[in-house]
């Protein structure tokens, strides 16, 4: 299904050359009144119309749009309105629709972008996008573990702090628990530069990696499983370099 919004889609092949991951993103300043009835399910439309503030409407509509665009790349759905995205008790998005049982989705917003990643459930992923903001530096530093404080050396500190923050947010989404537990379990172990992105690992979540990109003035991070001890989709992420 085509939408009338400018976006970027990354369809990524990982396991045995099968498509298991798709990332979609769009700039919020390109928002326009989409045909909401073609994009949203009946329940989603009721929720959308119930929001009083424009920002809530924009976030909801663009988030659902990006999620369904990503889902479309893995399922070739013909009618976005037949896909419904509801939420778990912890707020994680859940995909409901015909032939959608094996698909999952993660949605994130920054002030600049709406982003989503769709994946097959045997390859759980999550996305987080945050604006790089000096006023958030103190809060991000407050979550640093001793090992992480040494990692930031050699990078632009505000950029790398935002990378770590998004990596932890993405990891909490992969586990479907959010920040309801001690954030130490999301501690970043290593970060290294690869091509035009950063790849990293977690100290305690040994089976997961994260890949981070700078887009505009935001950091986009995707957390995903490590396959055969390799970071399989790094080469697919080439937007802007993080310094």
What is the model's pLDDT at position 143? Answer: 87
Q: pLDDT tens, 25-47? A: 887 765 665 788 889 999 999 99
Q: pLDDT tens, 52-61? A: 998 899 899 9
Q: Is residue 209 part of a domain?
A: yes
* pTM, full prediction: 0.87
- One domain for residues 68 and 131: no
- One domain for residues 130 and 105: no
Q: Is residue 243 part of a domain?
A: no
**60 or 6, higher pLDDT:** 60
Element spanning 194, H or E: strand 188-194
Q: pLDDT tens, 88-123? A: 888 889 999 888 888 999 999 888 888 999 998 888
Q: Is residue 26 part of a domain?
A: yes
How does the average pLDDT of the chain come out, rounded? 83
- One domain for residues 3 and 108: yes
The total number of structural domains in the chain stands at 2
What is the model's pLDDT at position 43? Answer: 96
- One domain for residues 8 and 87: yes
Q: pLDDT tens, 198-234? A: 889 999 999 999 989 888 899 999 999 887 655 555 5
- Parent domain of 144: 125-238
Q: Is residue 52 part of a domain?
A: yes
Q: Which of 123, 139, 154 is the last residue of a domain?
A: 123
CA distance 88 to 66: 19
Strand order in the sheet with 103-109: 8-15, 18-27, 113-120, 103-109
- One domain for residues 107 and 3: yes
Q: Is residue 239 pLDDT above 50, yes or no? A: no
**Angle (nearest 5°) at CA 41 between 40 and 46:** 85
- One domain for residues 85 and 175: no
């Amino acid at each position: 299904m085509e939408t009338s919004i400018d976006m970027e889609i990354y369809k990524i092949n990982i396991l045995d050359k099968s498509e298991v991951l798709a990332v979609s993103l769009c700039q919020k300043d390109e928002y326009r009144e989409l045909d909401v009835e073609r994009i949203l399910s009946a329940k989603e439309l009721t929720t959308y119309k119930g929001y009083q503030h424009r920002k809530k409407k924009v976030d909801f509509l663009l988030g659902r749009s990006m999620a369904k665009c990503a889902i479309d790349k893995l399922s070739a759905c013909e009618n976005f309105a037949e896909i419904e995205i509801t939420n778990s008790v912890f707020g994680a998005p859940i995909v409901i629709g015909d032939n959608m049982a094996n698909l999952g989705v993660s949605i994130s917003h920054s002030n600049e972008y709406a982003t989503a990643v769709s994946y097959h459930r045997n390859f759980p992923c999550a996305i987080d996008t945050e604006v790089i903001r000096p006023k958030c530096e103190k809060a991000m530093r407050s979550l640093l573990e001793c090992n992480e404080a040494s990692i930031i050396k050699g990078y632009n500190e505000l950029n790398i702090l935002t990378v770590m923050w998004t990596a932890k947010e993405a990891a909490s989404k992969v586990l479907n628990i959010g920040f309801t537990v001690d954030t130490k379990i999301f501690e970043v172990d290593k970060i290294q530069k690869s091509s035009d992105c950063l790849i990293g690992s977690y100290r305690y979540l040994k089976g997961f990696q994260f890949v981070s990109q700078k887009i505009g003035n935001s950091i986009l991070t995707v957390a995903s499983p490590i396959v055969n001890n390799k970071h399989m989709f790094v080469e697919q992420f080439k937007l802007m370099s993080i310094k």
